[in-house]
Amino acid sequence: MDGKHTAGKCPVMHGGMTALGTTVMDWWPNALNFDILHQHDIKTNPLGKDFNYREELKKLDVEGLKNDLRALMNESQEWWPADWGSYVGMFARVAWHSAGSYRLADGRGGGGTGNQRFAPLNSWPDNVNTDKGRRLLWPIKRKYGNKISWADLMILAGTIAYEVAGLKTYGFAFGREDVWHPEKDTYWGAEKEWLAPSDSRYEDITRPDTMQNPLAAVQMGLIYVNPEGVNGQPDPMKTAAQVRETFARMAMDDEETAALTAGGHTIGKSHGNGSPSDLSPEPEAADVEYQGIGWMKTNGRGIGRDTMVSGIEGAWTSNPTKWDMGWFDMLFGHEWELKKSPAGAWQWEPVDIAEEDMPVDVEDPSIRCKPIMTDADMAMKVDPTYNAICQKFMKDPEYFSETFARAWFKLTHRDMGPKVRYVGPDVPKEDLIWQDPIPSVDYTLSDAEIADLKSKLLASGLTSAELINTAWDSARTYRGSDMRGGANGARIRLAPQKDWAGNEPERLAKVLKTLEGIQAGLAKKVSLADLIVLGGTAAVEKAAKDAGVNITVPFAPGRGDATAEMTDAASFDALEPLADGYRNWQKDDYVVSPEEMMLDRTQLMGLTAPEMTALVGGMRVLGTNHGDTRHGVFTDRVGQLTTDFFVNLTDMAYSWKPAGDNLYNIVDRKTGETKWTATRVDLVFGSNAILRAYAEVYAQDDNHEKFVKDFVAAWTKVMNADRFDLAA
């Protein structure tokens, strides 16, 4: 070697695709991101495909675990000393910031997957030093191993922290399963810098309700609102408006919001005794010697009283390790003025306070320190509605404690789905409306009874398309982000779902009336939820047979019928589909392309790209388009489960010509005759290289039967997506 060509000396090629700086698709930034459909693959999971967390939970010594956590609360570690010798504030914050990323609009975020361990959340400015909390928990995680997930452990640690502080907690449920790499499906905002000004998130920042959906936090890298004020400028009334909107987007009402604000700041403190410029990089940017720990002080102590987190410095109460009414006493018992923390952050401090009412230093009890309030705390005082709620709490401390305990439970369990998914001895017996309760059924159906019902449904006078569409519209609401929606409960017949434009209310009312008539004439009680799904199932089965493939479409009875009293209509508004690529429909024109909206819906439904391909192709030939349009119906055999959609889409005998907004003509190249019409969500299966590869599989002459089997499997997956009882 002459020394000039050194690349060969390195076992890894420079520029290899081992880092995230660039990818092969960076040349085409607008390409569809199918990674969101195929994340959390078994290949990333070190526990293997046979691992069953719910089975492992049965082996867990729950009381032993809780006792270990109780002990940890007061076992201060030299490498990261506990404030006042107690970690209750630390672990409450870890849990809070794990769960608090949840947003109602798409159900994403939250503490249900242990995603705080990974980017971007592990490196958000708002999550400074939550990494220390997880390291403090590591000996316990190591001890209990596979029997406790990180997701469960972090939330339980926060709940135990409040218990140790003196709160009577409402309960706790295990059942959160960990992911093993960063979640790729969650949109946290378009900003390219941490804590960029909020303005880009709003049409009008003075109107918090104009925040871009599905976002809830006001700035990139925050859980909720900026504690210093809107864009870091203190103004409690403006902050109050942002708090109200942000917490509403987390499914919290004003009373829950006030309780969480007060209770969240009853224990612990803010840290800002230093300069942010003295901190090492966040975990994802830190070099190997930091071992995944970020934000370490590069000079000076950086622990105890010298810890840096938000930049705000101080405790909210006189007894920051105890559950009491201290936050209210402090906020409403003093006048407050704006000050700057040692780190230069805006905070509110009392104009006048007796020394004995001040909290003591975290290390030296002989030192008294000024208490503080954030702009969000002050909002509870200046906003008339929040103020009235706080006055109510102050008159009835027991009511405050109960309201907080319930709100904390909701905050930490909101993304877990229905109660059937809850595990453990501390699951509250009470059914809560935000859990979307569904009554259990007291019947079973034999194969013969199911066959008889299928015959009745097919002979009802309803078309196959009407039966399929109603089953689909009922089931498509499911989202795996927070395990809400789905066909179980038959909420498609209740407000608000019965009136959604995507459900074609007039058609739906007709179908439901017919199904209710069948139900009323049955000798055996069968839920409408089951009849809706069975009707679609029977129609799919018939369509496959008409296309020459005899197949039994699986059906699992056992769905219940929810009532209006069991349904929080306002929270179900968030589940309304704004587009459904599977039925070739969009409610309106959006900035996001139709194919992107289809991809997002597909991810929420828990489907893969091949499953999406099979379902869309099948739904088109079945004639299930919204409003009976014929866009994408590339067949002369409408109603039969054929591969015609794929055969004709991939046939070079045709060309594709734009014919209007989101409309295309499929034109015979020889005659110039328009054969069919299509939308973007039809043509993307031929234009996108990945989707075309799938479409070509189904267009092959030898794959008709495979297509039918794949369609049926994907259909069944959608129909049963919310049937957690089947696996319970």
As annotated, the active-site residues are 97
Cross-strand pairs, 707: none
Do 624 and 62 contact (CB within 8 A), yes or no? no
| Contacts (Cβ under 8 Å, ≥6 apart) of 396 | none
Q: Which residue has the tokens 């941490």?
A: 194
Q: How far apart are CA 521 and CA 523, in angstroms?
A: 7
Residue of 142, 135, 140, 128 whose CA lies nearest to 93: 128
Q: How far apart are CA 267 and CA 228, in angstroms?
A: 19
| Contacts (Cβ under 8 Å, ≥6 apart) of 41 | none
Cα dihedral 123, 128, 131, 134 sign: negative
**DSSP reduced 3-state for 654:** strand
Q: Tell me, letter by letter, the H, E, C secondary structure of 364-395.
A: CCCCECCCCECHHHHHHHHCHHHHHHHHHHHH
Q: Which residue has the tokens 């998914």?
A: 421
**Reduced DSSP (H G I as helix, E B as strand, rest coil) percent helix, strand, coil of the chain, to 5:** 45, 10, 45
Beta strand extents in 669-728 (DSSP E only): 674-678
Do 614 and 643 contact (CB within 8 A), yes or no? no
Do 476 and 605 contact (CB within 8 A), yes or no? yes
The secondary element (H helix, E strand) that includes residue 55 is helix 53-57
Cross-strand pairs, 350: 336
DSSP result, 331-351? HHHS-EEEEE-TTS-EEEEES
Residue ranges of alpha helices (H) inside 573-642 are 594-604, 609-621
Do 130 and 157 contact (CB within 8 A), yes or no? no
Edge-first strand order for the sheet with 663-668 is: 654-660, 663-668, 674-678
Q: How far apart are CA 107 and CA 102, in angstroms?
A: 7
Residue of 708, 354, 719, 309 whose CA lies nearest to 545: 708
Q: How far apart are CA 665 and CA 676, in angstroms?
A: 6
Q: How far is CA 154 from CA 158, 168, 432, in A?
A: 7, 19, 23
Do 416 and 484 contact (CB within 8 A), yes or no? no
- Cα 378 to its chain centre, rounded Å, is 30
Cβ neighbour number for residue 519 with a 10 Å cutoff: 17
Do 181 and 417 contact (CB within 8 A), yes or no? no
Q: How far apart are CA 321 and CA 82, in angstroms?
A: 11
